[in-house]
Amino acid sequence: MNKREKFLISSLLWFTGLVLLFVIIYFLSIVKFNNAYMEEEYHELPIFQKQIEYAISPYLENKDFKSLEKYCRIFENTDVKIKIFDKDKKLIASSLTNDKESVLDESQDLNADSQNKRKFDIIDRHKIIGLVKKVQPGNEAYYLKLTVSEEDVMKILLQAQHYLFLFILLFILFVISSIIYIIQKLRIPFNVLQESVIKIANGELDTEIKVPKLELLEELAVCIKKMAQRLKNQINRLKQLEEYKSDFIQNVSHEIKTPITAINSAIELLELKNNINEQDKECYEIIVHQSKMLNSLVNDILSLSEIEVEKTGEHKNFKRFALNELIESIVNYTIPSDIKINLINKHIINLLGDKELISTAVSNLLINAVKYSKSENIDVIISCVENFAQIEVKDYGIGISQEHLPFLFDRFYRVDKARSRKNGGTGLGLAIVKNITELHNGTIAVKSNLGEGSNFIIRIPMENI
């Protein structure tokens, strides 16, 4: 289950929880509403009594009991029941067709003060609220009785509320079903689209983007398809430019190496003749030195170009090799007579990478330390730190000013230009080291202060993908 599906399921559960909360609140509101409604019915009875009293007074005054009965029957289907008794408290008119109360029941204390304080409960549906009023429109007295049965009122209210609740429940079920349907409808095409996007992100730019028929995803799929095509075209153009650049560097280097070879051949002939006089010897040495520098520069440019081209490739030709043995051989071949190089193996490491390039990187750092640090001791430390192979080249020489550290790995950057040219530096050594490290998905850092020496640290993952 992916994150998107987990989010959708959790959202659906949250929605279901909110629905349950709504149902509880709805039920509590119904109870409160029913009680409030019955209270209102009770308080409205005196007002209704006055209206009824005004309406029946003419019938009672004229003793027109038939018209009175007809008037009472108007309220037959209402929740308020009307009964009228004569002076002997015998029933003369009622809103009920078969009213069993033929004589006024005085046992019901409907006018008691306690009625004003009563609370209504929908569970007890057999309570009756009402009032009895003595009316005297003429010379004779009559009794008007108004009653409201909680059972009848609640039956009407609950029936309406049941219909309302059923409607809300069906609506909620419809909404949940619609959400589930939409999720299911979107899930398959969205997953297909996601798989295509992941393939494109992994470099498979020829992946076909299937445009779903759903309008919700169609526009997104079309945009992704256009983006993938533009990205592919851009990458192809960059690859073409890289090829042009590589061809240009190869051609220029070849053209430069041709005269360098001729110059070196001429130098060798002059050395064989051994007839250079003291006056021309200085010019001869300048030619030899500059020829070596130019040859070194061309080789460094070619190496850097090849590494950059390899960095753009998706598949790297890495093999596992013994890092400790490789660096030991480099140290043995690099040691000058007046400098001590200490190899410190903290861990034995088998690294997955390009053996020749790692050798070049470490050699460049060692050569720089020997040439420029003015240190009598140099430490080469091999260790394993957090699943990274770490190579440190540490000297105890003159150090490097802090202002130069951010630019050390830039091409052709020199801390001391005069000293670098004197020692034959091209300004590309550290740039090559950085590119080799990045090719192996690693990092390079430097720690240095003036007068305290320098420490160059290469960190490369133990498992390169």
- Residue 187 DSSP SS3: helix
The encoded tokens of residue 459 equal 């960190």
Q: Is residue 176 part of a domain?
A: no
CATH of the domain at 349: 3.30.565.10
> Is the separation of the CB atoms in 426 and 411 below 8 Å?
no
Asked, for residue 191, whether it belongs to a domain, the answer is: no
344: pLDDT strictly greater than 80: yes
Domain assignment present for residue 429? The answer is yes
For residues 262-287, give the mean pLDDT. 75
Is there a domain that residue 353 lies in? yes
Domain identity same for 294 and 324: no
Helix (H) or strand (E) holding 139: none
Phi/psi at 92 (nearest 5 deg)?
-120, -20
User: Is 100 a member of any domain?
Assistant: yes
Per the structure, the complete domain to which residue 24 belongs is given by 3-167
Question: How many angstroms separate the CA atoms of 136 and 46, rounded?
Answer: 17
Q: Under 8 Å CB-to-CB from 239, ≥6 apart: which residues?
A: 312
334 and 365 part of one domain? yes
Inter-axis angle of helices 429-439 and 278-312, nearest 10: 20
Chain centroid to Cα 40, Å, comes to 55
Contact 135, 141 (CB under 8 A): yes
- The confidence score (pLDDT) of residue 155 equals 74
d(Cα 402, Cα 429) in Å, to the nearest integer? Answer: 20
Q: What is the pLDDT of residues 42-99, one digit of tens each?
A: 778 888 888 888 888 888 888 888 898 888 888 888 878 888 888 888 888 888 887 7
pTM of the entire predicted model: 0.49
Task: Kindly state whether residue 367 falls inside one of the protein's structural domains.
Answer: yes
CB atoms within 10 A of CB 353: 24
Express each pLDDT in 9-52 by its tens digit. Answer: 777 778 778 878 877 887 777 777 777 777 777 778 888 888 88
User: Which residue is listed with tokens 């753009």?
Assistant: 312
Q: Is-contact 448 405, C-beta < 8 A?
A: yes
pLDDT confidence band for 123 (50 / 70 / 90):
very low
pLDDT over threshold 90, residue 456: yes
The verdict on 294 and 385 lying in the same domain is no
Kindly state whether residues 269 and 227 are assigned to the same domain: yes
Contact predicate 397/403, CB 8 Å: no
Q: Which of 315, 335, 368 is the last residue of a domain?
A: 315
**Same domain (yes/no): 303, 323:** no
Structural domain count of the chain: 3
Do residues 380 and 426 share a domain? yes
Are residues 183 and 217 in contact, defined by beta-carbon separation less than 8 angstroms? no
Neighbours of 253 (CB within 10 A): 17
Burial (CB < 10 A; 0-12, 13-18, 19+), residue 134, is: exposed
**Residue 105 pLDDT > 50:** yes
Radius of gyration of the chain (CA): 51
Same domain, 246 and 331: no
* Local structure of residue 374 (DSSP, 8 states): -
Q: Which residues pair with 453 in a beta bridge?
A: 449
CA distances 429 to 75, 234, 408, 413, 433, Å, are 108, 31, 10, 10, 6
Please indicate, yes or no, whether residues 150 and 94 belong to a single structural domain of this protein: yes
Residues 238 and 302 in one domain: yes
Count of other CB atoms within 10 angstroms of residue 371: 16
CA angle 37, 41, 43 (to 5 degrees): 115
Confidence (pLDDT) at 421:
53
Over 90: is that where the pLDDT of 170 sits? Answer: no
In-domain check, residue 131: yes
Task: List CB contacts of 462: < 8 A, sequence separation 6 or more.
Answer: 349, 351, 352, 384, 387, 388, 389
Q: What mean pLDDT, rounded, does the chain reach?
A: 78
Per the model's pLDDT, the better-predicted residue between 121 and 210 turns out to be 210
Angle, alpha carbons 8-12-16 (nearest 5°): 170
Do the Cβ atoms of 330 and 366 come closer than 8 Å? yes
**159 and 22 co-located in one domain:** yes
| CATH code assigned at 90 | 3.30.450.20
pLDDT digits (tens, 9 = 90+) for 392-445: 999 998 888 888 888 888 877 777 655 555 555 667 888 888 988 888 889 999
Instruction: Say yes or no: 160 and 43 in one domain.
Output: yes
Q: Does residue 179 belong to any structural domain of this protein? A: no
pLDDT band at 455 (very low <50, low <70, confident <90, very high): very high
User: Domain boundary residue among 265, 286, 315?
Assistant: 315
Q: Among 103-107, 176-180, 288-292, which range has the highest average pLDDT?
A: 176-180
Cβ–Cβ under 8 Å, residues 150 and 81: no
Reduced to 3 states, what is the DSSP secondary structure of residue 397?
coil
- Out of 296, 315, 334, a domain closes at 315
Residue 232: partners with Cβ closer than 8 Å, 6 or more residues away: 205, 206
d(CA 292, CA 465): 38
Domain co-membership, 292 together with 338: no
